[in-house]
Amino acid sequence: MKLLALSSSGPLPSAALFADGALVYEALGQGGKTHSETLMPLVEQALSAAGLAPNQADVFAVDIGPGSFTGVRIGVCAANAMAMAKERPVVGVSSLRALLHGLEGPACALLDCRNGNGYAMVLGGSGEILLAESAVVVAELLPTVPAGTLFIGDGAALYREKILQAVAGAHFCEDNAVTAAKVGRCALGEKGEREVMPLYLRPSQAERLWREKRP
């Protein structure tokens, strides 16, 4: 089975191809261009490296967020369009689940969304979900996280000092990026759907500003 995975919720988009459960190739974006300019060329790069055409993918997977509102929308639309055109299923994977996949608990995926806010998901020591994907205030989240938790994500790097002060025995992953390879590994074995939707856990900045201006 060949799986094509996309990720565009973070600063740099990526595309990855898996064959029979193994990562064949991952194409990583560079800075300087928008996600809309770079995502599909990355898809073509990953497919070309494996000697495949888009219609040879058996299933598609995509990072549905949370993350950049525009980036998530671009990735989800691209994956849905390819899946529909080829009549193949698509698997939606949250960026937080992708980060946590394969980690032993307790673990916390934490993504920054500015001004002390974040997106988080927390697993207990046996891998049970203590907190499903949620929008959080970081200062309010940390006292609820178990001691000895492994933190991952750009929010973990940004709030490292605060985490160390609030969570006894906290430690950190070095690879904090949400990538297509992580999304693909999380999607392996899933049946998929005809279409997936973005996971928006809080209003966009434009929506918040519009609400604030309403009388």
Does residue 58 sit in the same domain as residue 164?
Answer: no
Confidence at residue 210, expressed as pLDDT on a 0 to 100 scale: 45
Confidence at residue 42, expressed as pLDDT on a 0 to 100 scale: 96
Does residue 83 sit in the same domain as residue 60?
Answer: yes
Mean pLDDT in residue range 64-78: 96
Confidence at residue 215, expressed as pLDDT on a 0 to 100 scale: 59
Alpha-carbon distance values, 90 to 19, 25, 95, 187, 198 (Å):
16, 19, 15, 9, 13
Does residue 43 sit in the same domain as residue 117?
Answer: no
The token pair that represents 183 in the structure block: 């999304």
> pLDDT tens digits for 170-212?
999 999 999 999 999 999 999 999 999 999 998 655 554 445 5
Q: What is the CATH number of the domain that holds 51?
A: 3.30.420.40
Does residue 81 sit in the same domain as residue 183?
Answer: yes
Mean pLDDT in residue range 65-71: 95
Does residue 153 sit in the same domain as residue 192?
Answer: no
Range of the domain at 145: 104-172
Does residue 64 sit in the same domain as residue 110?
Answer: no
Q: What share of the chain is helix, strand, coil (3-state, %, to 5)?
A: 35, 25, 40
Confidence at residue 205, expressed as pLDDT on a 0 to 100 scale: 53
Domain count for the chain, please give it: 2
Q: Kindly report whether the global pTM for this prediction surpasses the value 0.85.
A: yes
